[in-house]
Structure 1
Amino acid sequence: MTLRRGLNEAGICCHIPSYKGMLTPAHKECRLGFALEHLPHDENYWRNIIFTDEKVFQSVAAPARQCWWRPNTRYQENHIHHRAMSGSVAVSFWGWMLGYGPGDLV
């Protein structure tokens, strides 16, 4: 049996890590506070909230890295590769949606 097969059978699979910017402990505390503050709201409340996100496509891609993790642990801190890039050409897209459907993509 290979090491890779043994890890797969144990439920630990090889994946490309998630990439995101560095969050300070203060950022994490603020996000948790927001989540706990809005936890009691029902589905009707959330249908009227605008959710927004952006995606940046860059001309220079870092080489793909791999890491091993168990299912449902992708966003644990030790499975995320933090990076800061500069000097590349980037195109940003922004979009939004409500509980009733998607909005514009800009």
Structure 2
Amino acid sequence: MRRALPWLVAALGGVLAVAGVAVFASANSSGVGWAGYMSEAPLEPITEAYQSDLILFSDGAVLWTRQHALGAVLVVLGLLVLAGFGGWLLGRRRARGSTLG
């Protein structure tokens, strides 16, 4: 069990990261809520004297929902767990090969 625990933690990090990507991708394709409303009924163009636009993608604005935020949090948590596992693995290998003194 002692040898399997770090690998189980690494697997958990991978699952969290993949689940976060899946949740984020499903939020983009759901078409529910404000993002779905925006895609069905575009706004009228603004013809005022002072207009400023920030276009991140050519097909429209980027709108984040709670599902987007949940997906992003899951990805970050999964990557943090994987980074911790990688650091533990590197530290373990260096401790075996190092000679102090």
- TM-score relative to the length of structure 2: 0.23
Structure with the higher fraction of residues in helix conformation: 2
Q: Which has the larger radius of gyration?
A: 2
- TM-score relative to the length of structure 1: 0.22
